[in-house]
Structure 1
Amino acid sequence: MLKIESLNAAYGRIRVLWDVFLEVNEKEAVGLFGPNGAGKTTLVNCIVGLLRPISGRIIFQDRDITGMETHEIVKLGISLVPQERELFPGMTVEENLRAGANYIPHARARMNEAFDLVFTLFPILKERSRQKVGTMSGGQQRMIAVARALMSFPKLLILDEPSVGLQPSIVSELFSKLREIKDHGVSILLIEQNVKQGLKVVERGYVLENGRIVLQDSSANLMNHGHVKKAYLGL
């Protein structure tokens, strides 16, 4: 579904990514792990068209999307849950969710179906549909951000550091929802620093350090890898 081939990226003269490769298959959950400053968000920005890479290719469903405009990429079926959530705090839950589908013709036509899906996944959002988002907890806002991304019926859902700022119990709840989302046929690319929790959700993972992929393997093998255990799991 998604193939990243020999991707190199920079901000001005500051090089961030070197020959990065990554692949996500249909109905698969894949993790990208690494410390702050490793280049994870830069890679996400390249995928969704916010940053044009120096070289390399990004292929989505056999189509080269390298350097395409963000709104075109979203219409193809890639949806992003950004780290900062970027919700509209003065608007209600329902209004925020509608914003996830209003500008995508096929999603707008299936709005009621989309609401059924996200309210099934996140029942509390149905209960709070008239509540202004700015009055809700950080965990609830994160759920809204994920639900809004699902309103466009994406083929690939990218989550950039969804656990940041959340207490452990909320992280566990959120990650359990990711398993349900995958069961609905949505492929997932999870960008995370929380390696221990993240590896429980994905089938495969990549480790990005200093702009380079240094490891790739199944989640089980990564969980038991000496470098991962020492650097990320505290073992």
Structure 2
Amino acid sequence: MSHPIEQLEQIMETLRDPQQGCPWDRKQTFETIVPHTIEETYEVVDAIHNQDWPNLKEELGDLLFQVIFYSQLAKEQGLFEFSDVVETVNEKLTRRHPHVFSEVEFESDEAINANWEAEKAKEKARAGKTEQSILDSIPNSLPALIRATKMQKKCARYGFDWDSLAPVVDKVHEELDEVMEEALLVDSKQENVELELGDLLFSVVNLARHLEVNPEVALAKANLKFVRRFSQVERKVQQNEKKLEQCSLDELEEYWQKAKQEERN
């Protein structure tokens, strides 16, 4: 009996088989699979946030299948195979953690991180990758909040960062004032408002970073909280035999406050 991973690879090969395979799977390319990979990643995150462990097991399987799919496409084009993917990550993790897999010792977490960055730099050099900027290694396709956080962290390593919280908070207030100043202009342009709002969001990301909070996670939790509370509002509206559109803002706000209070209790 084959190993589960080998069985999964065989299933993937069969799905891509030119004669017996699935028509949908056969026509996929690296590019067409990307949206599905992103979707599956977020479904994993959602399962974790909901602490739905049986669902997490399933979603992790779906995410693993994405890796198998890409590996099969690469195999068909003579680029690499799944075993190469595994060997590469095994070697990289072992090399990047000499304090775990060898007798090397580091004095602090900072020294460990410095070694990690040095190893990454060596990898890029071996691959012939050159950077014009320290920010070149941060993918443009990352979600905006995550990319902003990574850019700020990278610049902070080189000293481009405030060393206290006060100026970070001041910057948030400054950017908010600039948003409102632009938005309240008689001839305000939407593009300018968008730019100022982007600066505000960037400064809030910086605040989150200084507070050691992941802004992507924080916003995701806020979204879940909003859904939970608004669902309570909808139930209260139904209990009063009304529809949302029949309620005034004052009524909806009253239900919202009740939902918040019930949550605290």
More helix by percentage:
2
More strand by percentage:
1
| Higher relative contact order (Cα pairs below 8 Å, separated by 6+ residues) | 1
